Structure 1
Amino acid sequence: MKKFNFENFLAIKYISSKKEEKLISLSSLLSIISIAIGVGALILVLGIMNGFDKMLESKIIGANPHIIVKNFNGTFNLDNNLIKSIKTDKLVSNVYPSLVEQCIISANGQSSGSILNGVDFNDKPYIEKYIKGNTKGIVLGKELMKAIGVRVGQNVRVTLAYSNPTAIGFSPVSFEIPVTGVFDSGMYEYDLAFSYIPLNILWQKMQTYDLINTIAINLYNPYDINKVGKYLEHILPASYYFVTWAQMNKNFFTALKLEKIAMAIILLLIIIVAAFDIMNSLTMLVMEKVKDIAILVSLGATASNIKRIFIKQGLILGIIGTAFGDFLGLTLGYLLKHYNIVSLPKQVYYITKIPVDITFTYVVIISIVSIGLCTLASLYPASKASKMNVIEVLRQ
């Protein structure tokens, strides 16, 4: 015959009180609701922030080379042997030289600053998938075209922050060129700042043939940057250095991480408040069940038995509240991810649905922390119940 466990029986029984003890029962219910809301909100908010992080990361990785190689001297001669050496790494998918210059692009009486990238489109650079139209002329960012009011087919004037020596001094390089394509990465800042032009045309206008200032590297897996970085350290000459996409956006990703931690701490306070509600509820219950405890002790229950009854009650409340919270957070996350419940302005975010990415690890950690806090909250009332003077109670 299975042994009857009176500790579990009483822990469950005390959660639902009699009519005369409605206040205690209501307090337990409110504690469960508070835990559920706190856990659900924490799972959902972290899922949304994680979704935004991954979305922005994917856009940043997609619209930028994974690694760029520079020279401390600025511009340098195109070295095909160096490019071939970089390409020998099996993790590298593409390597191509480029000449990056700051410029002002003007049309229709409007001007805007831009970062002009001279690239060889025959090498099929990473940005090719974001370009609509052809690359025979200049390709402007979608937002940059709006800023200066031009369309594909119209001419723009490009004035570089570079001067050519002439008989009477230095003259800034300026030329007209038709817009033949649109760069649309989905990132407002990039679409406003970047423009692209065939490298041979830029060399011709600047009269700097075979001079570049950047070697762009793309990887099959953008997260292999550290492995490729170690390889580059061995093959690059002393005057060269490299920067990865993670280093270029370090401050941005650090800010997002700190924001996620701050939100987690704020929402964790809801669970902590709920844990205090459980402590208050159990303390009131101990005061209410003084005679019951005294009778249990007189029947042979030990202090440890009494203590475990109330610890188990706190644990049960924590498990119930956390389970409801997990269900709430996962359900809302699923609905937001798959249905357009909350619409976002596409012109601001370039997406219409809230990105949600709830990871199993987050759910497990949040659940363990929540149940742990509820169990810790039950230690004080449990200890108080176990140290009760039974003789005094029985005399009354």
Structure 2
Amino acid sequence: MSFESFIALRYLMARSKQTFISVISVTSILGVALGVASLIVVLGVMNGFTKDLRDKILGVNAHAITMSIGGGIANYESVMEKVQGVPDITGVTPFIYSEVMISTASGVKGLVLRGVDPATAEKVLSIREHMEDGSFASLEQDGMPGIIIGKELAQRLGVGIGGRVNLLSPTGTKTATGFTPRVRICRIVGLFKTGMWEYDSSLGFVSLGFARDLLGWKGDTVTGLEMTVRDVYRADKVAENVTAALGGYPYYSRNWMEMNANLFAALKLEKTAMGIILTLIVLVGSFSIVTTLVMLVMEKTRDIAILMSMGATRSQIRRIFMLQGTIIGAIGTIIGFGLGLSVAYLLKRYQFIELPKGVYSLDTLPVLIEWTDLLIIGVSAMVLCFVATIYPARQAARLEPVEALRYE
């Protein structure tokens, strides 16, 4: 053990006659610990919210989509083959997108209608994990065409599995008597619940063939292609590669990050703001370290003078007090990590904090601890505590032994 470390630890531990300074030291440690623990828990909850929201969005939507500026993709099977050959593409399925009206005897509601291919949709859309009844395969059963809708929408329309609904398309036909909208009757073959009200109350899935019939489309035209990629955070790069593989115009591709940019930007800003606010708690703890060391320098003036008269250099004196403050910060950070990780584990394991149902997209607080966040929190806390030691350590090193011992 070095000379500086020995003196720093002795000053930190041997304080039977310095009760007030000891109380300030404990307060400093607790301030740093509470700040670190708060940062770990809050950032973990924010990460959990972001992941939960991302999973729900990607459960209904694919990682990327490819469409044509002309308004549709004809002969989509040949286009699918080219897309499937792009590296990092793990699944491709065609889709038809439109907005229609859905009605029963209990009411009428606008509906975002998605035509899907049951054979390939389950490889791309993970909404199957949110299905409470039925499956995509049920869409092509013999008999009346099927539709899968959200549980919220089913409750609003007063229907369930096997119930019949009417779909009205705005793309009707002109007849001698005027404009006639297309109306088709279909049967509910599946219900899903994602936890996001926007999807559960206004989204429906039908087969590609039924969607074309309802909209009056000819041939095998689709709105576009949906894709999943190996790494969701590289979806933008893969989407660019897909467009390049198709030769560019008239094709273009978009990714999930681009289509939900505002939402995730708001979550990132909120996480940053919470991090800054809670860092102030650590800053308060670090200022307490300044107070502790300043008072200790005043208390140990004679000891410092004796050490310097015995040959201790000013740099050694400075390092003694910087080490002492750093030790206080390290103890507070370690306690904060233990406290924060324990609370995060309890929240994740027992989920004892419930959220108002219908307000949020989930019922309990989600927690996701990321090692990068832990590293940033630990380094930031230690840096703040180290910076707090610089001023009192420099003041201790500036003491003149003769002046310090003159009145002793």
Normalised to the residue count of structure 1, the TM-score between the two structures is: 0.92
Task: Provide the rounded CA distance (Å) in 2 between the counterparts of 1:389 and 1:224.
Answer: 62
CA contact under 8 A between 1:162 and 1:173: conserved in structure 2? yes
Deviation at 1:110, TM superposition (A): 1.7
Which residue of 208, 220, 224 maps to 1:214? 224
CA contact under 8 A between 2:4 and 2:316: conserved in structure 1? yes
The equivalences for 1:265-344 within 5 A come to 265-344=276-355
Structure 2 equivalent of residue 183 of structure 1: 192
Q: Does 1:141 align with 2:150?
A: yes
Structure 2 equivalent of residue 58 of structure 1: 55
CA contact under 8 A between 1:40 and 1:329: conserved in structure 2? yes
Normalised to the residue count of structure 2, the TM-score between the two structures is: 0.89
Which residue of 90, 112, 117 maps to 1:93? 90
CA contact under 8 A between 2:53 and 2:361: conserved in structure 1? no
CA contact under 8 A between 1:101 and 1:161: conserved in structure 2? no
Task: Provide the rounded CA distance (Å) in 2 between the counterparts of 1:290 and 1:44.
Answer: 42
The equivalences for 1:97-116 within 5 A come to 97-116=94-113
Structure 2 equivalent of residue 163 of structure 1: 172
Task: Provide the rounded CA distance (Å) in 2 between the counterparts of 1:138 and 1:25.
Answer: 70
Provide structure 2 residue ranges, at least 5 long, that are not aligned to the other structure: 140-144
What is the aligned-residue identity percentage?
38
The equivalences for 1:1-396 within 5 A come to 5-16=2-13, 18-125=15-122, 126-127=124-125, 129=128, 130-131=130-131, 132-133=133-134, 134-135=138-139, 136-210=145-219, 211-236=221-246, 237-345=248-356, 347-349=358-360, 351-396=362-407
CA contact under 8 A between 2:243 and 2:251: conserved in structure 1? no
Bigger shift: residues 315-324 or 298-307: 298-307
Deviations 1:316-373 (CA, angstroms, capped at 9, x unpaired): 1011111111111111112222223323456555655432221222222211211111
Backbone CA RMSD of aligned residues: 2.1
Deviations 1:294-335 (CA, angstroms, capped at 9, x unpaired): 222222222112111111111110111111111111111122
Residues 124, 61 of structure 1: alpha-carbon distance in 2 compared, 3 angstrom cutoff: closer
Deviation at 1:199, TM superposition (A): 1.6
3-state SS in 2 of match to 1:378: helix
Deviations 1:251-304 (CA, angstroms, capped at 9, x unpaired): 111111111111111111111111111001111111111111122222222211
- The alignment of Structure 1 onto Structure 2 pairs a total of residues equal to 393
Deviation at 1:387, TM superposition (A): 0.7
Task: Provide the rounded CA distance (Å) in 1 between the counterparts of 2:3 and 2:115.
Answer: 79
Deviations 1:167-203 (CA, angstroms, capped at 9, x unpaired): 3443322333222221333433211221011221222
Residues 312, 94 of structure 1: alpha-carbon distance in 2 compared, 3 angstrom cutoff: closer
